[in-house]
Every structure is written in structure tokens, then in C-alpha cells.
Amino acid sequence: MAEAAGRADAAGRPRRHRTGVRGRITLAAASVVALALVIGAVIFWIVLRASLLEGVRASAEQDAAALAAQVEAGGATSLGDLGELDDDRIVLVVAGGAIVAASEEAPATAAGLRDGASVRVDDETYVLAREDAESDADGGDDEVAVIVGRSTESVDETLGTVARLLAVSVPLLVALVALTAWIVVGRALAPVERMRRQVDAVTATTLADRLDEPATGDEIARLAQTLNGMLGRLESAQATQRRFISDASHELKSPLATIRQYAELARAHPERVRDGELGEVVLAEGDRLERLVQGMLVLARADEGALRPDPAEVDLDDLLLAEAARIRGGGAVAVDTSSVHATRVRGDAALLAQLVRNLVDNAARHARSGIVLAVDPEPGRTDRASGGDASGAVITIDDDGDGIPPGEREHVFERFVRLDDSRARDTGGSGLGLAIVREIARAHGGEARVEDAPSGGARLRVELPAAASAR
């Protein structure tokens, strides 16, 4: 618990890692360059050493070949005093396994002195070269071997100097790369830090502010554009939410005010209110409140992505015929159900019943004399909810009212929207019916739209995915 608490600051937010993106990129770049330079330096040192030693060995072979030719021509005595040779060479002349001539620094025995070997004499290393010669200058016919060793002291000094230079230059180069990466990454991330500060300063009251977009056209500029787009969507969502709350408050206040007025009138002047009138008003306005609250709950679930249908087999024709009987019972408009065909879909029965009721009530409110209900399977439509091909059910509700202009047809699906006086509150509508229709249709993978009706009014068309057995 103490460790977990130590990972959060006083505000309860997780502590930031001390090493940010800038530090991690710098560390990664420096590490990669350091590894490459160390590997390159080691390989360079090994190749240089092999090359220098090969040069020393070639010099020893040349000396051995020259001395062997001299021995063949004049015998071992022709070499003179070998003690006068350069200090960086040793020479031995071996005949019959015995040393017949040697320089001062030469080993006391010739055992193990083979061609290409190295020997250490008085803390100094020599690379050996051996050359055989036949000499009869001394009256014999002995095989003579001339062994010459070249000192590697100069090679060791050169390699030591190179190693010291590499030991100094590699860290300097790594430091230079790290510094360069730190500066370059810092400059590249400077716009990101500015955007972070600007986003951190955004509150519910400053959603209209936008981030500065760099003119570079790179990933950071696209990030700024994306964040600005997100702020725009948040601002729009906030405005929609505020408008929804305002409209909902107004809608709820209207029936409550009506109930209060009748109640106050009944208490102050009971003689003016006939028997049962107050109860009728309360029931009517209560029913209106119930429908409004239920509609807002459906829309709230849709906004939260929680409007998930409980799938079951639903007969759409039964739903439309039931609503037709209800409207006929009111006697206000005529209802034509001749185009209602047997159609079954797989969806939420309660939600689809609400969809059908909202469609029929909307048409009945705006019709002059009658409405036409129709439902029929539409074969060959793609089921967007399941991703497969299946039949699609189509519901159409026509009215013979004034219709809806093409430019306003999308607005009728917005919440609390009324296009004109014909859609005023006194007609009984709340402005949520068609918004609920579209949300329910989309929750089932379908869509809702407005078209022209043959009677000159409006046609509301809802397309829904259907079960495999559509009929």
C-alpha cells in the first residue's frame, strides 16, 4: 500500500517518470551510437594490429631471405659480426641443430624457433622468419637455417597510441551525438509541449479555444489538427447537451404548470371546476410527462451507447395493426392498412413497439384526413448490424398533411425540433418522437428518413434488418 501510494502525487494522479520522451530518445540514440563506435573501434584495432604484424613479419622474411642467400654464397662466416645488427632484430644461424652464429639479443637455444612464431626476449617480443640454405663454402655440405626476428615494439607503440585516441574520441563522439539528439528532439517536441499546456488549460468554459497548428505539415501538425477537431466535437456535444437540458426543462415545466394551475383554481374556486375535471387534467398531463421522461431516458441511453436491443422474433405487422386500431378508436383520422404485410424481424420488441407508436402518432398529428401504414420485407438488403446479407424490413407511414421541405428533413430527427406552428406543443408532440425513432432504428442496424408521400404529405421510411425467415 505504501509503495502504491508513493506512486501518486498529492492530487491522486500518477507521478510522471523522470525520464521523458526526450531523455529516452537521447539515451537510445547515444546507446546505439556508442555500441556501434565501440564495435567499430575494436574491429579497427584488430585489423590494424594484424596489418602491422604482417608488415613486421614480411620485413623479417626479407631479412631472412637476404641472409640465407649470403650464407649460401660465402658461408656463415660471411655474415661477419652479428652483434653489430640493429637493436630491433635478432639473427641466428643454425647448422646441424647447433647455433653457429647469433646476434647479442638472440636466444641461447634454437628450440621452438619456427617460421611465423613469436618469441619474447628481455621483455621484448619478436616475430620470427626462418629461411633454409645449403652452404659448402666451409668445405662441407650442411643444411643451414637462418632465423631472423623483427621486434614488435613499434607495433605495440602504434597500437597503444591508437587505443588511447579511440578511448578519448569514442566518448566524445557519443557525447556529441547525445547533445545533438537532445537539442534536435527538444526542438521537435517543443510544439507538443505547447499543445500540452494549451490542452491542460482547456476547461468546460473554454472549449471554444483552439490549439496553435504548426505550419510544418508533419505528424505534430496533424496531431494539433486532430486535437482541434476533438475540441470542436466536445464543444458541439456540450452545446447539444445544454440545449437538450434547457428544452427538457421547458417541456417538463409546461405540464407541471398546467397541473399546478388547475389545482390552485380548484382550491381557490371549487365552484369553477366541474367534477372530475381536475383528475382528467392530472391524468392527461401525467401521461404527457411519462412519455417525455421515457423518451429522454431512451435518448440518454442512446447517447451513452447503452441502447442495446434484446433480440427476439418480432412481428412488425402485428405492431402496426395494433397502432392502427388505437388510432381508429380515436376517430380523428382514417387509417389505411392494406399495405401491411406479414413481416418478422429480430429485434427488441419494446423498442420496436415504441418506434412504431412514435411514427404513427407523428403521422396522425399532422394528417388532414388520413394516414397510410405499410410494412414489407425488402430482399437483398445488407444487414449492417450482423455484417451479412439478409432480407430487410421496410416500414413506411404516409400522411396527407403539408409535408416537409427537403432542406428541413434532417432537422425533424433532432431533439425538441419543431419546424412550424403545425408542430406546436398543443398538438401533443414533445419534439422527441422522431429523434427516438432514428436512435432505435440505428440501434437495430437500420436507418430512418423522410420522403415525399404520394398524397402530397410526408412519408417516414424506416429500414430494419430482418431475420433469415423474413415472411
pLDDT digits (tens, 9 = 90+) for 341-373: 999 998 999 899 999 999 999 999 999 999 999
| pLDDT exceeds 70 at position 329 | yes
pLDDT value of residue 106: 75
Identify any residues that bridge with 334 across adjacent strands, giving them in sequence order. Answer: 370
Confidence of residue 171 (pLDDT cuts 50, 70, 90): very high
pLDDT at 421: 46
Q: Residue 101 in 3-state DSSP?
A: strand
Separation CA 353–CA 327 (nearest Å): 15
Q: What is the pLDDT of residues 398-448, one digit of tens each?
A: 999 998 999 888 988 887 776 654 444 444 456 788 988 999 999 998 999
pLDDT at 13 over 60: no
pLDDT at 40 over 90: yes
Most confident of 252-256, 286-290, 319-323: 319-323
> Rounded to an integer, what distance in angstroms lies between the CA atom of residue 460 and that of residue 447?
11
Q: What is the mean pLDDT of residues 5-31?
A: 68
CB neighbours of residue 469 within 10 Å: 10
Map grid coordinates 449492417 to a residue: 384
Does the pLDDT value for residue 72 go beyond 80?
no
pLDDT at residue 85, rounded to an integer: 59
Residue 136 has pLDDT above 80, yes or no: no
Query: Residue 383's pLDDT is what?
Result: 45
- Give the architecture-level CATH label for domain 18-201: 2-Layer Sandwich (3.30)
Q: CATH 3.30.565.10 in the chain: give the residue spans.
A: 309-465
State how far the Cα of 283 lies from the Cα of 281, in Å rounded to an integer.
Answer: 5
463 and 378 Cβ atoms separated by less than 8 Å: yes
Q: Do residues 311 and 347 lie in contact, with contact meaning Cβ atoms separated by under 8 Å? A: yes
Residue with cell 419543431: 418
**pLDDT for the residue 324:** 93
Q: What fold does the segment set 202-306 form as a domain?
A: Helix Hairpins (1.10.287)
Please tell me the class of the 309-465 domain: alpha beta
Maximum pairwise Cα distance, the chain: 165
Angle between helices 277-303 and 219-268 (to 10 degrees): 170
User: By C-alpha distance, which of 397, 413, 382 is closest to 455?
Assistant: 397
Bridge pairing between strands 392-399 and 370-378: antiparallel
- Lowest mean pLDDT across 72-76, 100-104, 146-150, 467-471: 467-471
Is the pLDDT at 172 greater than 90? The verdict is yes
More confident residue, 27 or 215: 27
pLDDT tens digit string along 230-242? 988 888 888 877 8
- In this predicted structure, what is the pLDDT of residue 261? 85
- Tell me: pLDDT of 375 over 90: yes
Residue 253 has, within 13 A of its CA and on its CB side, a CA count of 6
Q: What is the pLDDT of residue 119?
A: 82
23-37, 158-172, 402-416 — which is least confidently predicted? 402-416
CATH 1.10.287.130 residue ranges of the chain are 202-306
Residue 398: φ, ψ to 5°: -105, 145
